[in-house]
Amino acid sequence: MTNLAAPASDAVQAALLLAVDPVGLGGAVLRAAPGPEREGWLAGLRAALPAGTPWRRLPLGIPDSRLLGGLDLAGTLAAGRPVLERGVLAEADGGIVVASMAERLEANTAAKLAAVLDAGQVALQRDGLDLILPARLALVALDEGLAAEETLPPALAERLAFRLEPEAVPLDAASQVAAARARLGQVAVPDALLPALCGAAMQFGIASLRAPLFALRAARAAAALAGHAAVEEADAALAVRLVFGPRATCLPEAEPPAAPEDQPQDSAQPEPQPGPQELQEMLLEATRASLPAGLLAALGAGARDAARRAGAQGREGQRRQSALRGRPIGTRAGALRAGARLSLVETLRAAAPWQGIRRRERAGRPGPLVLVKRDDIRLLRFQQHTETTAIFAVDASGSAALARLAEAKGAVELLLADCYVRRDRVAVVAFRGRAAELLLPPTNSLLRAKRSLAGLPGGGATPLAAGIDAAMALAEEARRRGRTPLLVLLTDGRANIARDGTAGRPRAEADALAAAAPCRAAGIATLLVDTAPRPQPFAKQLAEAMGARYLALPSVDSQKLSAAVATTREVA
Amino acid sequence: MDIGASALASRKTVAARPVFPFDAIVGQDEMKLALLIAAVDASIGGVLVFGDRGTGKSTAVRALAALLPPMQAVAGCRFSCDPARPEALCDVCRDATDLVVATVPVPVVDLPLGATEDRVAGALDIERALAQGEKAFEPGLLARAHRGFLYIDEVNLLEDHLVDLLLDVAASGENVVEREGISIRHPARFVLVGSGNPEEGELRPQLLDRFGLSVDVRTPTDLATRVEVIKRRDAFERDGAGFLAKWAEAAAATRDRILAARALLPAITVPDVTLENAARLCMALGTDGLRGELTLIRTARALAALEGDEVVGVPHLRRIAAPALRHRLRRNPLDEAVATTRVDRAVTELFGA
């Protein structure tokens, strides 16, 4: 019982809480590169669970037939009746599923996982099977993302109680956890706890109601683990550190809010008592202490929106599908026309159950070994290679003049509408002052695009090189994901901040040209829109260095701009 | 493992799991009202619930299922044919001489994201094909949802070919399956209920248009409501049966309210002045086509029925204008005003504050 002797770290505690109440807590996000810490955490969690608890790995890009289940073709044909092949989720009922490289999970897969986490069961409607399979499990998502916005889909992260950097968990916790599991149902919750948890969540700007619910369950598990009959302050403090700490989007105001007066009629509220208020203060302190130093400073500086954006990152949405190229993402029934690619295995799978009937219908006439009909044909579906991600790099500096910035915003919004119609993805980078900022990670949500633009401030110097670098990083990532990047750079070309953040036009211009070179080398379709009232030679020079189309736009003419982007896009 | 017995067993265990009661959902009045309206008048065309994560969107839909009053259907019919509507019977029931009527629960069918086309539309029964070499149609989810509700969580992530299928069936009210030389058509009329989060991607405009009502749900922002939500959720999880018993009376009252509203619905009158007002509202908002107006009137009538009012007036229009119209406005990306605000503004301009 090493973890009783010395106070265990939060990462270790999280593993033990998860072992006590896996279904209630949903799981954890482990944000770390592969390594001994992560393996040690997983091994510790596994050791803490009762012997024989299912433990399954979920590889990235797992097909639905393995994730949810489907028809076991070999078994079906051998048995002469449908035989179910359980998916990973149903196999893991009562246990843990570990998802590798969760930061690259598709929105669609994430939504299926979320549905199973919510329902505790797999609703299987596949291959002629109509089944409900129990799948009460917890998910451990291994997030290997590097950039802040490179993380797992928010819809899934939201359903996992903890988010932590792993460290090795002692391997001898099993008996302690088993005792806690037995006690969990009897742990009492003081009346003051619930209002305090909800209040603390609000103070940290955590909108979702799942967070306080997770905190409540975590507190209960912590009490059970510590052998307390009721949730004590230390249990609650641990719970909020683990659940609220990573979710906080702002710092609490100094003044606690007045007790709400307009209570809904249908809810019987407990009388305001000093309990919740004091408890809440304690919980606020506990959460505050768990925030990393850098985040604290950022939040304090009012970068609340930035944090929220980073948390709400998404790369979901409709995918364009092509018949021929790209990454295969499944099969569908269809006619085998020119250009379509046949999926032989899936076609045979579709044909297999009907062989008996078809042979009988042929009434003994000789025929091929396998009778395949048009209905059986299954075609491969691909994620289209040419799906476009339009990356807007917007110069928001003072030299671009505030009035022009408003015009540029208007133009970008028009282009966004275009992209929405074409179902392109859109990303927005703004650069001003000393650095570039990712305003909007690639998305096809018009709503989010509009919101992010609305909050774009202007003014300051022109770090053109940083802007190009940031846009290029996005373009490279889009490429890695099998999409075609399209870069639109709106600037007046008056670069005056170098890459290292020092002021000075010559250095800044040299750096901008240096940043432009990889763009040309990579052959990324680029449009440079010169927004200066009098077009500058340097902007033209930069466009050449980037291999970009150059468009001088002394007055932002949205029609012209839109047409230019469309042409560039065709080239891409 | 093989399926037969185990499939039945697992379905049973699921049926026994308690569902969070509809009336115990704190706040979210617009969502609850929209679902009740859909339960009163199925012809309104479904409900889309879009909004923040963790606001109990799917909880509400599943709760409605537990609340719906049972319906009359032809006993043993796989499509739950309505004995009161001879013109809409399936082929088997039409040929039968004597229809036995049974009282059955209204189906609320889940369409999970990973569903394959054969299970949605129906296909030949693999088991019978393999074991007996017979061609027998195995109805899919669309058949099961007939006369009830079809629920799709994360509807904006549904695969394109399934959306196509849904649009087709929703438009014709009939599902057609061709396979192995046999052709099956059966009625498939259902109330489509979808939920999702707009930040994860837009809904295809054609599908958006299929929904009669569209509801925005937001996370409650006042402490008392939030505490109450968690408190009830926790009480339900710790003692489901006890919690249901506590809310049984409220559930019965809501069920009676739906029944009373359905009975009242045919008797409700819509005066010309209300029709005019509805038309003026739609014109002011520039909604496309007549569907908006039709939905607005029908929804107002169902609301009046729920409230026990016999005449539809401006107060009814005012209350349901936003859910009936907000998803029908022409999209203008440059207009910063959110759809709800635009509807509210038009309502205020026409009918006064």
Instruction: Give all strands (DSSP E) within B117-260, no chain letters.
Output: 122-124, 137-139, 149-153, 174-179, 182-187, 191-196, 213-217
Convert the pLDDT of each residue in B244-292 to its tens digit: 999 999 999 999 999 999 999 999 999 999 999 999 999 888 886 788 8
Tens of pLDDT, residue by residue over B38-55, are: 999 999 989 999 887 777
Contact: B333, A414; criterion CB under 8 Å: yes
Question: pLDDT digit string (tens) for B130-167?
Answer: 777 778 888 899 999 999 999 999 898 888 888 888 98
CB atoms under 10 Å from CB of A530, counted, come to 23
pTM of the model: 0.73
Number of other residues whose CB lies within 10 A of the CB of residue B149? 24
Question: Which residues from chain A sit within 8 angstroms of residue B53, using beta carbons?
Answer: 154-155, 158, 208, 210
Chain A residues with beta carbon closer than 8 angstroms to that of B126: 71, 76, 82, 127-128, 353
Across the range B328-346, mean pLDDT stands at 69
Which residues of chain B does A454 touch, with a Cβ-Cβ cutoff of 8 Å? 336
Among A86, A212, A413, beta carbon nearest to B334: A413
CA distance readout (Å), A331 to A64, A387, A567:
11, 19, 33
What integer is the mean pLDDT of B211-217?
A: 91
The whole-number pLDDT of residue B318 equals 93
Chain A positions in Cβ-Cβ contact with residue B4 (cut-off 8 Å): 81
Q: How confident is the model at residue B8 (pLDDT cuts 50, 70, 90)?
A: very low
Residue B96: closest CA among B112, B115, B81: B81
- Domain A2-249+278-309 sits in CATH at 3.40.50.300
Identity of the residue in A67, A132, A262 whose CB atom sits nearest the CB atom of B11: A132
Q: Which of B50, B138, B199 should be substituted to probe chain A, the one whose Cβ sees the most A Cβ atoms within 10 Å?
A: B199
State the pLDDT at residue A317: 30
Q: How far is B269 from chain A (nearest CA, A)?
A: 33
- Residue from the list B4, B202, B226 with its beta carbon closest to the beta carbon of A446: B202
Determine how many CB atoms are found less than 10 A away from the CB of residue A4.
12
Q: Which residue of A has its CA nearest to B159?
A: A318
What residues of B are in contact with residue A199 (Cβ under 8 Å)? 223
Please state, in angstroms and rounded to a whole number, the distance separating the CA atoms of residues B146 and B159.
22
Query: Could you say which of B26, B129, B237 has the minimum Cβ distance to residue A267?
Result: B26
Minimal C-alpha gap between B195 and chain A (Å): 12
Return the pLDDT at A335: 72
Hey, are the CB atoms on B224 and A208 less than 8 Å from each other? no
- Active-site residue among B147, B291, B326, B331? B291
Contact A357 B129 (CB under 8 A): yes
Domain residue ranges of chain A, discontinuous segments joined by +: 2-249+278-309, 323-383, 388-571
CATH architecture of A388-571: 3-Layer(aba) Sandwich (3.40)
Residues of chain A with pLDDT under 50: 1-6, 255-274, 294-323, 385
- pLDDT in the model for residue A309: 33
- pLDDT at residue A319 in the model: 38
What is residue A228's DSSP assignment? Answer: -
The distance of B184 to chain A (nearest Cα, Å) reads 15
Name the strand (E) or helix (H) holding A97: strand A96-99
Half-sphere exposure of B15 (CA within 13 A, CB side): 10
pLDDT, position A134: 93
Averaged over B172-200, what is the pLDDT?
Answer: 85
Between B215 and A257, the higher pLDDT residue: B215
B179 carries an active-site annotation:
no
Contact check, Cβ <8 Å, A208/B52: yes
Residues of B in contact with A191 (CB under 8 A): none
Does residue A123 contact residue A132 with C-beta atoms inside 8 Å?
Answer: yes
Task: Give the model's pLDDT for residue A435.
Answer: 83
CA distance B166 to chain A (A): 16
How close B39 comes to chain A (CA, Å)?
Answer: 23
Question: Is there a contact between B10 and A262 if contact means CB atoms under 8 Å apart?
Answer: no
Q: Is the pLDDT of residue B337 over 60?
A: no
Q: What pLDDT is attached to residue A296?
A: 46
Please say if the pLDDT value at position B312 is more than 50: yes
Cα of B275 to nearest chain A Cα, Å: 33
- Closest to A539 measured CA to CA, from A547, A523, A528, A524: A528
Which residue on chain A is closest to B239 by alpha carbon? A185
Structural domains in chain B, sorted by start: 44-70+105-217 (3.40.50.300), 266-351 (1.10.8.80)
Looking at the DSSP assignment, which residues form a beta bridge with residue B216?
B50
Answer whether A2-249+278-309 and A388-571 agree in fold.
yes
For an interface test with B, which of A343, A354, A359, A412 has the most B Cβ atoms less than 10 Å from its Cβ?
A354
Q: List all residues 6 or more positions away from A406 whose beta carbon is below 8 Å from its beta carbon.
A: none
Q: Please indicate whether, in this complex, the C-beta atoms of A450 and B229 are within 8 angstroms of each other.
A: no
Closest CA to A240 of A270, A214, A278: A214
